Amino acid sequence: MKIVMLGAPGAGKGTQAEKLAEKYALPHISTGDIFRKNLKEGTDLGKEAKTYMDAGKLVPDELTVRILLDRVGNDDCKDGYILDGFPRTIPQAEALDEELEKLGEKIDFAIDVDVPDENIVDRMSGRRACPKCGRTYHTQYMPPKKEGICDECASELIIRDDDKPETVKNRLKVYHEQTQPLVDYYKKKGVYHTVDGTAEVEAVFDSIKDILG
Ligand code: AP5
């Protein structure tokens, strides 16, 4: 099963993708996480990606597509995967579909986690992330058991650099201009579904499980 998670920055794609990955035993692939991991390791890719991410812009398609196609070519992806934050532009979606067509495969579900812009800044300002294992929390809606500490690996939680209000506003603008056209793209393919992302985490998860069957 191949799933694409759509939705605005902070809509909860990563939160749901993580839960789905566990339930369906599929890899959770987040291009944002790949860029952040590279940045932490000080690679050239990480340094290049940072200049775009800190400005709330998208990393160029050519680079992003290359990294994603390389990742989905790994052995652990042969039974499917959950893509979180990719594709984000029409050319990215087309590049992925072209590659899948060569293998006689396709995306089975595009799940849009729908959250209005008004709720996004609140979501982002309370987000805390684990720099080690990548798990995400929210100070109010999904707090860790011990304040500021990751439940999984006991690392100290951080605030992401791109969660500053000005950057968030720019990320939302970029989302509406470049990523929202994917709604029509996946509607035309007959795989588009939307869920109310303003509901509680477990309720959103239940809606997605109903769609996947
Ligand atoms: P990326 O890391 O993909 O960020 P994003 O898409 O902007 O999404 P986020 O991770 O911010 O949010 P999310 O929807 O996963 O929400 P989360 O579950 O964390 O990308 C970062 C940057 O990398 C981009 O700006 C770009 O520069 C670059 N990039 C990445 N992919 C790219 C691509 N394909 N092409 C080009 N550039 C790319 O939830 C948010 C918060 O809300 C959390 O605190 C969470 O606990 C809380 N929350 C979640 N669900 C709920 C709920 N139901 N109720 C209450 N709170 C909730």
Residue 166 CB contacts under 8 Å (≥ 6 apart), including other chains: 56
pLDDT tens digits for range 7-42:
999 999 999 999 999 999 999 999 999 999 999 899
User: Residue 122's pLDDT is what?
Assistant: 84
pLDDT tens digits for range 179-211:
999 999 999 999 999 999 999 999 999 999 999
Residue 8 Cα, ligand 1 centroid: separation in angstroms?
A: 7
d(CA 202, CA 208): 10
The number of beta carbons lying within 10 Å of the beta carbon of residue 189 is: 13
Alpha carbon of residue 174 to chain centroid: 15
Query: pTM value?
Result: 0.92
Question: Which of ligand 1's atoms lies nearest the C-alpha of 11?
Answer: 14
* 7 within ligand 1 shell (Cβ under 6 A): yes
* 138 within ligand 1 shell (Cβ under 6 A): yes
Atom 15 of ligand 1, nearest CA residue: 14
* 50 within ligand 1 shell (Cβ under 6 A): no
pLDDT tens digits for range 79-103:
999 999 999 999 999 999 999 999 9
* 38 within ligand 1 shell (Cβ under 6 A): no
Identify which of 123, 164, 168 to mutate to test ligand 1's pocket (most ligand atoms within 8 A of the CB): 123
What integer is the mean pLDDT of 42-46? 92
* 205 within ligand 1 shell (Cβ under 6 A): no
- CA dihedral for 54, 115, 14, 94, sign (positive or negative): negative
Report the catalytic residues.
13, 88, 127, 160, 171
Options 3.40.920.10, 3.40.50.300, 3.40.109.10, 3.60.21.10; CATH of 2-115+179-212: 3.40.50.300
pLDDT tens digits for range 137-180:
999 999 999 999 999 999 999 998 888 888 888 999 999 999 99
Residue 73 Cα, ligand 1 centroid: separation in angstroms?
A: 24
Residue 169 Cα, ligand 1 centroid: separation in angstroms?
A: 13
Map the chain to HEC letters.
CEEEEECCCCCCHHHHHHHHHHHHCCCEEEHHHHHHHHHHHCCHHHHHHHHHHCCCCCCCHHHHHHHHHHHHCCHHHCCCEEEECCCCCHHHHHHHHHHHHHCCCCCCEEEEEECCHHHHHHHHHCEEECCCCCCEEECCCECCCCCCECCCCCCECECCHHHCHHHHHHHHHHHHHHHCHHHHHHHHCCCEEEEECCCCHHHHHHHHHHHHC
pLDDT tens digits for range 107-146:
999 999 999 998 998 888 899 999 888 899 999 999 999 9
